[in-house]
Amino acid sequence: MRATRTGFGAVLVALAGWASAARGEVPPLEDLFELRARDPDQVQAPPPALLTPDCLASRDIGIHGWAALGLGGNSLGSPFNGPVVLDDRNGQLMLQQLYLTGLRPLGAEAGWGGRVDLLYGTDWWTAVSRGLDAFPFDRVDAIGVPRWQSSRYYGLAMPQAYIELGHEEASVLIGHFYTPLGYEVTPAIGNFFLTRNYTFEYGTPTTHTGVLGSWNPDAGISINAGIMNGWDNFSDGMPRAVNPGHPGAGSNLGFVGEALLESDDGGRQLGIALTSGNEYTPVADASGDVSGVSVGNLTMYTVYAVVEIDERLTCAVENSCAWQFNAVGDYQNAGQLPGLAQWYGLTGYAYLTLTETLSAGMRAEWFRDNNGTRVFYPIRNALTGGAPAAGGFAGNFWALTWGLNWFPRANWMVRPELRYDWYTPDAYGSPALPFGRISTGADGQPTGDAYGQLYGGCDLVVRF
């Protein structure tokens, strides 16, 4: 594992030198968080101003949104599509996102701006934050139990609500915002594929709340850094820890930062992000009831690079790695610190523009849940306090995804997808499997019954 991390470091150094050789114009923050993981060669029309009245447009305020409607299923006949997080229900037509955004961007002159996002649909629970649209931990003894749900599968989230002060070259953002970590994003319009990779689904936070400074010292360079109060947390304080002697056990103050580089022609992009701060892990007693939390530092980096090979072919790669201390995992590897949990992964992408309205894509990924603390099945049950939910998948997750993006109209996108996932555990014969139908295992704990599955799905995204 040490050799693997050293190899990743060499790759990062090489990518940094490659990207700094040429610099272009970095898009504003709202575009980076919303349109990051797309085929850059597929020209997109701006959203129509159907929702923006003249009285707001004259004040540089825009309102736009989209609707994403999808259907997918697995080869095993299970009600849930394995560890697939978005479009997780088998054979059910799902309104995944009905999304609205109100935005006032900053201009060249000093002033103010801001943004508010609302997400309704079956994806909503992936974007909730404790103390805002999810209950504080002490109220429910679980992380991510939603507040604004209309049913088990549908509800409302507010993933962003912030103000900005400054101008295009230097600004300060205050409030609730999407994390800069990772390549794939929550908004449906920002991804080539219908489903997301394991790094997005299990490895990174979705939102932060705090203060984020942005500095664009030169064309093609953007640096964003600030302080926040943890992963997917709005106003939830740190619960009383079972390890009060840990440094800062009562504080969840953390750091988040990102550096972005883009070449003059826009054909090469590099993004590096880092977060570090205290997080907590629920601790269960012998009966399975939560008896407290264990606090430890959680540090994670992500890096992605995008290269346009020619006018039709674009390739991208993403790497991530995280360390969480005092995570009280049940699976420890030789030579590892007691209680340490690690997860890391590597994902490669290729996008091929076939026509002005059609692109093909492929994604190959590997994600390692080193201590069985990250991946759950079904994750919707695990995070929202439902049952049953299986976990403890210490091992490697692999997936190959093929998809198309078809634009029958400028504001319409159709995304058919075929995906194959499989799992290689550290110890075969382990008590839990992450695919198939959930049942009670020999040890009395929930488990699936398969090592892999084939998934197929399609959605329609309409911007307005």
* Residues 72-102: tens digit of each pLDDT: 999 999 999 999 988 899 999 999 999 999 9
Of 268, 194, 264, residue with least CA distance to 40: 268
Give the Cα separation of 166 and 147 in Å (integer): 34
Of 188, 184, 193, residue with least CA distance to 68: 188
Length of the chain: 464
Here the tokens at position 111 are 């002033």
Residue 443 has pLDDT above 80, yes or no: no
* DSSP per-residue string spanning 342-356: EEEEEEEEEEEEEET
Q: What is residue 365's predicted lDDT score, i.e. its pLDDT? A: 97
Q: What is residue 21's predicted lDDT score, i.e. its pLDDT? A: 40
Is 27 or 334 the better-scoring residue by pLDDT? 334
Domain total in the chain: 1
Read off the pTM.
Answer: 0.89
Q: What is residue 390's predicted lDDT score, i.e. its pLDDT? A: 86
Contacts of 234 (CB under 8 A, 6+ apart): 129, 130, 131, 132, 133, 176, 209
* Residues 166-189: tens digit of each pLDDT: 998 999 999 999 999 999 999 999
Of 91, 59, 60, residue with least CA distance to 74: 91
| Identity at 130, one-letter amino acid code | R
Banded model confidence at residue 242, pLDDT cuts 50, 70, 90: confident
Here the tokens at position 217 are 């010292």
Classify residue 305 as left (phi > 0), alpha (psi -120 to 50) or beta.
beta
Residue 47 has pLDDT above 70, yes or no: no
* Helix, strand and coil percent figures for the chain, each rounded to 5: 10, 45, 40
Q: What is residue 27's predicted lDDT score, i.e. its pLDDT? A: 41
Residue 143 has pLDDT above 90, yes or no: no
Residue 14 has pLDDT above 50, yes or no: no
Residue 209 has pLDDT above 50, yes or no: yes
Residue 1 has pLDDT above 60, yes or no: no
Instruction: Find the mean pLDDT for residues 284-290.
Output: 63
* Residues 293-338: tens digit of each pLDDT: 889 999 999 999 999 999 899 999 999 999 999 887 666 665 678 8
Q: What is residue 422's predicted lDDT score, i.e. its pLDDT? A: 96
Residue 199 has pLDDT above 50, yes or no: yes
Q: What is residue 45's predicted lDDT score, i.e. its pLDDT? A: 64
Residue 30 has pLDDT above 80, yes or no: no
In Å, how far are 121, 193, 194, 379, 460 from 407, measured between CA atoms? 23, 14, 14, 32, 10
Phi, psi of 181 (to 5 degrees): -75, 140
CATH code of the domain covering residue 453: 2.40.160.10
Q: What is residue 6's predicted lDDT score, i.e. its pLDDT? A: 39
Q: How many C-beta atoms surround the C-beta of residue 131 within 10 A? A: 18
Domain coverage including residue 438: 2-463
Residue 196 has pLDDT above 50, yes or no: yes
* Residues 243-263: tens digit of each pLDDT: 888 888 888 999 999 999 988
Give the Cα separation of 306 and 316 in Å (integer): 4
Supply the Cα-derived Rg of the chain in whole angstroms: 21
Give the Cα separation of 330 and 292 in Å (integer): 17
DSSP classification of residue 233: B
In Å, how far are 44, 284, 386, 432, 433 from 142, measured between CA atoms? 41, 11, 10, 21, 23
Q: What is residue 414's predicted lDDT score, i.e. its pLDDT? A: 97
